[in-house]
């Protein structure tokens, strides 16, 4: 792992609830165009639980479920209080996208490796210190400390190695994208054409009809509403979902955990069984001075002259060190590693396999305190100093006690809750006892629910899919039963069932009337706005036609293509037709949802050369970024297709279909 040896200020406690989401979900989404299906592989299908194989590596159903859930949690942030209720739908929606995204990501990482692209610990450290994770691990520019760093990752179910590998892969994809997209360019004519398109202005009269005004004039009779109900009856079929009523007792894991004690014997037993997890490999504590390898040009090749200049700079720095210069001072002044130069070049402790082979060979072969010659590797030129060495060993039980104890406590709490729930269930099923009496003896309150649907949430349970599945598969008049929930173990008894039903007209008359008015007013709006457009064109007079049909006439200001006009809405939608019309021309119907309009252009206004000079560079950057994204998207699409045809990507369509049906819940 990467160790940060900066002096830290007062450690700030950060809640890491969103960190796992950032690491896993955004790393799948970032850089990778979505929606690539690829060809279906029909031979050598991956086994059960494996969604796909990409260049020999597995993408498991569990990984897809985790990623889809995290992507859904990211989506849910914009729904506020409704988020928890929408989660099952969002997870279902994101599952197939997660499959494609993860296949694409693994294909890109495989291609990056084939091309010889690498990421060094120094680059990972720089990303953590100055990139998206800086506020978490370096608040105010100060490192939170190695212990807190590891504890925070553990709370997110991550190890430093796993986390830093994910960060490194993200950097690797960024490098690959830069390499593929680097040759994109835009011409002056393209820039000017886009400038005209973005900065032309138009002014127009517009006649507005509003669906709400038409809706107010509708007064349907009962006969009309009944006819509407009968013609739409299929859409109302079983629209009242099945509902059930239960009484239940929650044996909470959290309460059980409060009474759990972890003994020294428990710790020792767990430690002995998991000893290999605490094995620390041989490590060296190193500092380095790094002169980066020049980047490839547009043709993908590195200029030999630039490489020679970089080596010359490194050779000169080595001479300074041999002449008595202090290593830390030279690193701070000249090293091109922003993550370590400000701390005198220190990389902290590193293990084998973390650095380039050349760097690693020098670091592990040098004695403590010695400085290497210039070491050339794929990422540049290094001068390495070994500050300390540590042989491979297993951490003592005292070192890992704080990690093991909460794991054991939670395990024991789950076992205690399960045992308590089973005892309560057994007693509740005894003749003449029942759930109420059994719960009263254990002093646990019984909750009696109202009728609820499968997607509802009950007090004290939160989202609990497994509990709902158990309740809605229970037979009527069944004895008490048990099911897991997010808060613990639930002992419940089904009291009553209301089957799914089709409501009568009388039961949903108000809903039918609402839908009737919406449908009829929408139809009227379409008819009347077409009539308005036809009449205005025939009379060459929008103002007159608007008056005859009762439409409201307004005049816009000069507006840009990305502007908004009251009652018309965005000019980037259907109203964009105005920018292709000449003064005096009248548009066809423009529907903006609940409003509709007809436009008559009054005046066009072209941007000036001075405007072009001021905005040229910004537009050039926008077009270039767009072309780069398109080029990288085509590269990903071609790569996935090619690897699929070559048998390097094998999709398990049966497992994918199962995921699509079950969403985040494992298939049974």
What pLDDT score does 32 carry? Answer: 41
- How is 392-450 classified by DSSP, letter by letter? -EE--HHHHHHHHHHHHHHHHHHHHHHHHHHHHHHHHTSTTTHHHHHHHHTT---EE--
- In which band, very low, low, confident or very high, does the pLDDT at 297 lie, cut at 50, 70 and 90? low
User: What average pLDDT does the segment 445-474 reach?
Assistant: 91
Predicted confidence (pLDDT) at residue 10 exceeds the cutoff of 50: no
Question: How many CA within 13 A on the CB side of residue 298?
Answer: 3
What is the spatial distance between Cα 64 and Cα 97, in angstroms, rounded to a whole number?
Answer: 9
Answer yes or no: are the C-beta atoms of 337 and 330 closer than 8 Å.
no
Stronger pLDDT, 12 or 110, i.e. the higher one: 110
What are the C-alpha distances in Å from 58 to residues 38, 47, 435, 604?
17, 10, 47, 58
**Which regions of the chain carry the CATH code 3.10.50.40?**
282-391
**Residue 475 buriedness (CB in 10 A; 0-12 / 13-18 / 19+):** exposed
| Cα angle for residues 459, 460, 465 (degrees, 5° grid) | 85
What pLDDT was estimated at residue 194?
A: 92
Q: What is the pLDDT of residues 29-80, one digit of tens each?
A: 333 443 333 333 334 556 678 889 998 888 888 888 888 888 887 777 777 7
CB 598 within 8 A of CB 534: no
Indicate whether 409 pLDDT > 70: yes
User: H or E segment at 649?
Assistant: strand 649-651
Select from 8, 22, 140, 111 the least CA-distant residue to 70: 22
- What average pLDDT does range 326-349 have in this prediction? 91
Compute the average pLDDT of residues 569-576: 92
Tokens coding 100:
């494609």
Architecture of domain 282-391 in CATH? Roll (3.10)
User: In what helix (H) or strand (E) does residue 292 lie, and over which residues does it extend?
Assistant: strand 283-292
354: helix, strand or coil: coil
| Highest-confidence segment of 133-142, 261-270, 596-605 | 596-605
- Residue that is written with structure tokens 């060190």 in the block: 321
The answer for residues whose C-beta is within 8 angstroms of residue 295's C-beta and 6 or more apart is 302
The stretch 441-460 carries a mean pLDDT of 92
Alpha carbon distance 378, 119 (integer Å): 10
How far are the Cα atoms of 236, 239, 325, 472 from residue 243, in angstroms, in the given order?
Answer: 17, 12, 80, 9
pLDDT of residue 666: 52
Mean predicted lDDT score pLDDT of the chain: 86
The SS3 assignment for 126 reads helix
Q: Is 337's pLDDT higher than 90?
A: no
Tokens (6 digits) for 550? 């009762």
Backbone angles phi, psi at 516, to 5 degrees: -60, -50
Q: Looking only at Cα atoms, what is the longest distance across the chain?
A: 102
27-41, 134-148, 296-310: which range is least confident on average? Answer: 27-41
Tell whether the model's pLDDT for residue 1 goes beyond 90.
no
Residue 200, φ and ψ in degrees, nearest 5: -70, 145
Q: What percent of the chain is predicted at pLDDT more than 70?
A: 90
458, with CB counted inside 10 A (0-12, 13-18, 19+), is buried
Which residue carries 């990422």 as its tokens? 379
- Tokens representing residue 15 in the block: 């809640």
CATH 1.10.4030 location in the chain: 19-184+628-662
- The mean per-residue pLDDT over the stretch 589-594 comes to 90
Across 626-652, average pLDDT: 91
Phi, psi of 299 (to 5 degrees): -85, 0
Q: How far is CA 157 from the centre of its chain?
A: 17
Contact 649, 51 (CB under 8 A): no
pLDDT at 7: 31
Residue 665 is predicted with a pLDDT of: 52
Confidence (pLDDT) at 494: 96
Contact 66, 21 (CB under 8 A): no
Is the model more confident about 218 or about 22?
218
pLDDT in tens, 196-225: 999 999 999 999 999 999 999 999 999 999
Which residues, including other chains, have CB under 8 Å from residue 113's CB and lie 6 or more apart?
Answer: none
Which of 1.10.4030, 1.10.10, 3.40.50, 1.10.150 would CATH assign to domain 19-184+628-662? Answer: 1.10.4030
Closest CA to 328 of 365, 248, 569, 320: 320
- What pLDDT is stored for residue 277 in this prediction? 84
Rounded CA-CA distance 590/525 in Å is 11
1.10.760, 3.10.50, 1.10.10, 3.40.190: CATH of 243-267+398-498: 3.10.50
Q: DSSP string covering 591-621, please?
A: E-SSEEEEEEEEEEEPPPHHHHHHHHHHHHH
CA dihedral over 381, 387, 392, 398, signed as positive or negative: negative
360 is written with which tokens? 């690693």
| SS3 at position 116 | coil
Q: What is the pLDDT of residue 226?
A: 95
Q: Which of 642, 664, 655, 540 is nearest to 110 (CA)?
A: 642
The CA distance from 146 to 3, in Å, is 7
φ, ψ at 94 (rounded to 5°): -90, -15
Measured over the CA atoms of residue 584, residue 587, residue 592 and residue 594, the dihedral's sign is: positive
Q: Return d(Cα 54, Cα 647) in angstroms, integer.
A: 9
pLDDT per residue as tens digits for the range 221-249: 999 999 999 999 999 998 999 999 999 99
**CB within 8 A of 645, min separation 6: which ones?**
39
pLDDT beyond 70 at 365: yes
Residue carrying the six token digits 């009484």:
247
Q: What is residue 526's predicted lDDT score, i.e. its pLDDT?
A: 95
Average pLDDT value for residue range 69-93: 76
Residue in 522, 597, 593 with CA at minimum distance from that of residue 215: 522
pLDDT per residue as tens digits for the range 326-335: 999 999 999 9
* CB of 488 closer than 8 Å to CB of 413: no
Q: Are 655 and 49 in contact (CB under 8 A)?
A: yes
The gap from C-alpha 365 to its chain's centroid, in whole angstroms, comes to 43
d(CA 550, CA 540): 17
139 has pLDDT over 70: yes
Rg of the chain, C-alpha, whole Å: 33
3-state secondary structure of 129: helix
Residues 63, 99: Cα–Cα separation, whole Å: 9
H or E element, residue 208: strand 201-210
Greater pLDDT, 603 or 301? 603
The pLDDT, as a whole number, for residue 41 is 37
DSSP alpha helix (H) spans, 344-388: 357-365
The residue written with tokens 């706005």 in the block is: 529
Does position 603 have pLDDT exceeding 70, yes or no?
Answer: yes
Distances (CA, A) of 93 to 68, 73, 76, 103, 239: 8, 12, 12, 17, 22
pLDDT in the model for residue 70:
81
pLDDT for residue 29: 38
Assess whether pLDDT exceeds 70 at residue 405.
yes
């Amino acid at each position: 792992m990467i160790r940060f040896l900066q002096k830290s200020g007062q450690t700030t406690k950060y809640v890491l609830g969103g960190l796992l989401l950032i690491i896993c979900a955004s790393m799948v989404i970032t850089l990778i165009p979505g929606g690539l299906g690829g060809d279906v592989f029909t031979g050598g299908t991956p086994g059960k639980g494996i969604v796909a194989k990409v260049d020999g590596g597995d993408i498991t159903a569990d990984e897809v479920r985790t990623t889809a859930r995290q992507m859904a949690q990211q989506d849910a942030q914009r729904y506020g209080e409704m988020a928890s209720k929408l989660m099952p739908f969002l997870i279902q929606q994101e599952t197939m996208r997660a499959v494609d995204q993860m296949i694409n990501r693994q294909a890109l990482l495989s291609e990056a490796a084939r091309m010889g692209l690498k990421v060094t610990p120094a680059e990972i450290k720089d990303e953590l210190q100055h990139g998206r994770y800086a506020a978490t691990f370096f608040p105010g520019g100060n490192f939170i400390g190695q212990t807190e760093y590891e504890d925070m990752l553990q709370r997110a179910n991550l190890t430093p190695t796993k986390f830093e590998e994910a960060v490194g892969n993200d950097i690797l994809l960024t490098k690959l994208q830069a390499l593929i997209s680097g040759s994109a360019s835009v011409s002056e004519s393209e820039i000017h054409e886009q400038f005209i398109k973005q900065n032309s202005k138009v002014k127009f009269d517009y006649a507005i009809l509003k669906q709400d005004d038409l809706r107010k004039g509708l007064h349907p009779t009962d006969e009309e509403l009944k006819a509407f109900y009968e013609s739409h009856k299929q859409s109302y079929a079983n629209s009242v979902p099945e509902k059930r009523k239960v009484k239940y007792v929650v044996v909470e894991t959290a309460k059980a955990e409060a009474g759990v004690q972890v003994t020294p014997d428990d710790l020792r037993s767990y430690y002995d069984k998991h000893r290999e997890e605490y094995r620390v490999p041989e490590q060296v504590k190193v500092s380095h001075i790094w002169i980066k390898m020049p980047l490839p040009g547009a043709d993908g090749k590195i200029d030999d002259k630039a490489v020679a200049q970089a080596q010359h700079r490194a050779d000169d720095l080595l001479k300074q060190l041999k002449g008595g210069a202090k290593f830390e001072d030279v690193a701070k002044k000249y090293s091109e590693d922003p993550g370590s130069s400000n701390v005198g070049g220190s990389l902290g402790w590193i293990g084998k396999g973390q650095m380039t082979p050349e760097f690693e060979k020098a670091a592990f072969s040098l004695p403590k305190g010695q400085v290497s010659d210039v070491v050339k590797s794929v990422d540049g030129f290094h001068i390495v100093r070994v500050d300390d060495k540590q042989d491979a060993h297993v951490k003592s039980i005292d070192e890992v006690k704080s990690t093991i104890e909460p794991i054991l406590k939670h395990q024991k709490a789950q076992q205690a809750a399960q045992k308590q729930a089973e005892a309560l269930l057994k007693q509740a099923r005894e003749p003449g006892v029942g759930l109420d009496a059994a719960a009263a003896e254990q002093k646990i309150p019984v909750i009696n629910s109202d009728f609820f649907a499968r997607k509802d949430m009950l007090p004290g349970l939160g989202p609990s899919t497994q509990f709902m599945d158990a309740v809605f598969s229970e037979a009527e008049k069944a004895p008490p039963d048990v099911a897991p929930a997010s808060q613990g173990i639930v002992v419940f008894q089904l009291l009553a069932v209301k089957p799914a039903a089709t409501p009568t007209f009388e039961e949903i008359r108000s809903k039918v009337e609402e839908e009737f008015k919406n449908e009829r007013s929408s139809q009227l709006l379409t008819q009347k706005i077409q009539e308005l457009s036809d009449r205005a064109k025939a009379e060459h007079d929008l103002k007159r036609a608007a008056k005859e049909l009762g439409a409201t006439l307004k005049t816009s200001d000069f507006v840009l293509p990305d502007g908004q006009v009251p009652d018309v809405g965005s000019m980037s939608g259907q109203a964009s037709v105005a920018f292709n019309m000449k003064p005096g021309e009248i548009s066809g119907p423009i529907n903006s949802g609940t409003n509709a309009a007809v436009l008559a252009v009054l005046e066009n206004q072209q941007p000036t050369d001075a405007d072009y000079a001021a905005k040229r560079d910004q537009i050039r950057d926008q077009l270039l970024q767009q072309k780069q994204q398109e080029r990288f998207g085509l590269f990903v699409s071609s790569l996935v297709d090619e690897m699929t045809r070559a048998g390097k990507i094998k999709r398990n369509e049966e497992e994918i279909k199962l995921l699509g049906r079950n969403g985040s819940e494992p298939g049974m």
